[in-house]
Amino acid sequence: MNLNILVLPGDGIGLEVTREAVRVLRVVAEKWNHQLTLREGLLGGIAIHKTGGPFPAETERLSREADAVLMGAVGLPEFDNFAPEKRPERGLLGIRKTMGVYANLRPVRSYKALLDSSPLKNHLVDGVDMVIVRELTGGLYYGSPRGIYEDAASSGVEGEDATPEIHAVNTMAYSWSEIERVTRMAFELARKRRRKVTSVDKSNVLEVSQLWRRVVTTVAPDYPDVALDHLLVDNCAMQLVLNPKRFDVVVMENMFGDILSDEGAVLAGSIGMLPSASIGAKKASGAWTGLYEPVHGSAPDIAGQNKANPFGAIGSVAAMLEYSFGLTEEAASVNRAMETVLNTGRVTADLRPSGTPATTEEAGEAVCQAI
């Protein structure tokens, strides 16, 4: 099979973890006799430096042509005070919209070798295995109107003495169809797992969440073999800490998913462990269009020091092989190799190994050897 992949290393540690993920891809391609076509593009802060914008037209073109996209991380502190449309993160929103990837799948799994790396007690974490399904192209991050503006009239003083009041607004908006498609993806995933879906909303306060719950409840009878329950987002945040093993597939809107999936990272021992797959429409082959990236950020404080955990990026490669290319055997081999390396303790410092921590490169090489 020809694996046509666009690589977007991005910023900070993105370059380092992506380098190891690509090494794993090369080993898989060689072992299973696949042809690997890799092209590299710019996204985020590095794209701003080189082209003036976070999502250059060339990257947009390449993303449309690729079978799948592997991304590192986006964001640099020097852009923190820039207008939202000029920050590196706007490149993320742009590529997600371009590719039409509407569901972000974030698996959260505990490994025996990492139970002591989680701040939670072992008996709470041991056996955790869930997938958080985050709607990715709607909600507050895309809604309109949005912005920061001044309004003199709102200060309550008229005439020459009026002083402008500064306001900010973001709009959370969803349509029935946007909610339905991500809900159906959650139910389809649950059918291949433990057949339980938990839908998360804030329907006691938000009209958008009331629609969300209505849609999910309407879709559920089409999947009579899958159990459904609903949780308010604040209760879900608590249950992720108190009773994380109760979850199988958890589906939620964009911002809730952004926040709660990072909470889920604690269960795995480190945010550096978490991969993600952003999935869109199915192709004629039955494979999904996909954008794959570790959940962690660009971590500029450790960039260039060869100490970042590459497992989130490598796990994203496993997800890519499974979802975008249908290569389940190859994907399983990558996941088994990561677990093998975890059991040896040859891991980076964030996982608190008993011996000398491995470098990013050493951890990646160990996975390649295990494959």
As annotated, the active-site residues are 141, 202, 234, 258, 262
d(CA 73, CA 8): 8
Cis peptide leading into 357, omega within 30 of 0? no
For 222, counting Cβ atoms within 10 Å of its Cβ (0-12 exposed, 13-18 middle, 19+ buried), the class is: exposed
d(CA 59, CA 51): 11
Torsion of CA 248, 275, 4, 31, to 10 degrees: -90
Residue 101, both tokens = 């990837």
> DSSP labels for 255-268?
HHHHHHHHHHHHHT
Roughly how many angstroms between the first and final C-alpha of the chain, as a whole number? 19
H or E stretch including 135? strand 129-135
Short-list 308, 311, 290, 289, CA closest to 368: 311
